[in-house]
Structure 1
Amino acid sequence: MSKIQSQCLSCSLGSLLTEHRISIYKLSKTINVDRGTLSRMKADKAERVNIRDLEAICNYFKIGLSELYPLN
């Protein structure tokens, strides 16, 4: 019998913000995504995120969704 490995998604928004030296507030204003949504994503507390918000974040950082939410 093989072991089932559990994989979870963890948002990399915090490290992206640090790497690009941008605040949640400025990112929110720039891409028109609610600041609360970004804060929850950064804290890995977001239960649902609008696909348009994910697209805006990925486009801003020029990354794919798999880089924003890599499998751990």
Structure 2
Amino acid sequence: QNALAERINGILKQEFLTIRCNSMKELDQLIAESIEIYNCYRPHLSLGMMTPNQMFEKARTELIA
């Protein structure tokens, strides 16, 4: 699980947190926006070019059916 956390932290730092924030409030907002982009809009090759949210919904639907 540590490798997964490190991977996500690396992605946040390299792709999203590219500007210096002036306050913790600004940083919190930037992180929240980055997480939403990562989960809702950024397709992942390992998920068949689906977003994590799309994959979650697909898996949930398959479990219900």
Same fold, TM exceeding 0.5?
no
Give the number of the structure whose alpha-carbon radius of gyration is greater.
Answer: 2
TM norm structure 1: 0.30
Structure in which a larger fraction of residues adopt helix: 2
TM norm structure 2: 0.32
